[in-house]
Structure 1
Amino acid sequence: MTEPLEPVTEKDRRDELAANLEAVERRIADACAAAGRDRSEVTLIVVTKTYPASDVRLLADLGVRNVAENRDQEAAAKAAECSDLPLVWHFVGQLQTNKVRSVTDYADVVHSVDRGRLVTALSSAAQRQGRELDCLLQVALDKEADEGAGRGGVAPDAVLELAEQVRAAPRLRLAGLMTVAPLAGPYAGRPREAFERLMEISRSLRSLEPTANMVSAGMSSDLEDAVAAGATHVRVGSAVLGVRPRLR
């Protein structure tokens, strides 16, 4: 007969998160050293999707300042519950226009801007709320090989056109680029090369908008490749929070 699991106390969970954070920080520091970069050049964003607000509070107590969510319904409730904390909220999921008003209420940075209609919706919502919103263009590197391939994101050859739309949109700030290592196309299974390609696109973007220097790339499994390529932000979930049952 299986013994029932002991409940996890707040102290146990805090200790677990602290140990995981230390391990991730060590990975980032080692990757920076290997790439000849200063550790301060890379910001850790902890992806808290499916984990409770209590974990966000523990992370904040451990010094985390950047957290990310990918589903508005969960994110809105969690951000409201943690509104007293000194956090920067990143929205990293695919964003439908009917969720824009809610997302702009709590998100400081949207990583998944990939079409003109979304730019218009974000700008309108930000104007209504009197907020400035940082926007990253999500680049779909698999679309270099097949315009119809892959998940969300703008094709590399359409980045500058979309960037111009963001630059012209009131209350939006073009902050940089984001990508996820592709599962198909020429960069499948080659995250280092994918992130290096993103850096090439970033250099082109900065020729248009010099302050758009944020490059969000790399997750738990490939953050070293992202740091080596030059990413400024890495998005890490399971390596910090561990593998736990989903909330829903």
Structure 2
Amino acid sequence: MKFTLNRIALASMVVATTLTIASCATSPTGRNQVLLFPESQLSEMGVQAFASMKENIKVSNVPVQNEYVQCIADSIIVHVPKEVFDGVWEVVVFDDPQVNAFALPGGKIGVYTGLLEVAVNQHQVAAVMGHEVGHVIARHGNERVSTNALIGVGQEVVNAALQANEVANSQLIMGGLGLGFQYGVAMPFGRKHESEADEIGLSLMAKAGFNPQESVELWKNMAEASGGNSQPEFFSTHPSPATRIDDLQAKMKPALAAYNATTNRPNCRK
């Protein structure tokens, strides 16, 4: 009985802490968030996870691909707030057929070569990259790792994994960062996170000088790439193509205003 009461007391303390944190943490769109970990710890998680991926997934050695993706990334990350990451971003192209990309806390961006077959120009690649960086800006990784830790009362597990450099072997951490447990396969965030990243990404790509209207064309390409069956990995938690396009178009006016207001016009070629 004493053990049970102690567990209840611990759970109550966790809930109280959560409510306190949630009341003072909000996303860029004004949504309340539960963030249990300092961003420095999330950056450490991202760095460890990225290092593991580079060991387990083939990195592209095609100069044109790498220069093309780096060019797009350079145009976008200059618009990322310094409080999100104030260092040199590392951008890697992975030689893998996944139609996907990801960004991690700690200034890490990964793009799979499969995406470059579906995103047919710099604007469409920027739409994906802006979306993924949007997850980092909105601290979605911290939010999901925090939720996972609360469910399993697992902050000690997270700390132990970090100290032992075992982030890549922690399902709790990798899942929270939006990566699969095995070999860093990119996994979708929940729908509310995906929609929020869409909104942030649309603004980000527009400020960087990429045409936000191409995000709609990208979605059409992604839907076509699915062959009428299941959706590609990148959009697996999203609504139907028609609903997705409607949502993007509803947010298009301010994005176009930002695009038209900037003199930036990147010229990234593959």
Normalised to the residue count of structure 2, the TM-score between the two structures is 0.26
| Structure ranking higher in helix proportion | 2
| Structure ranking higher in strand proportion | 1
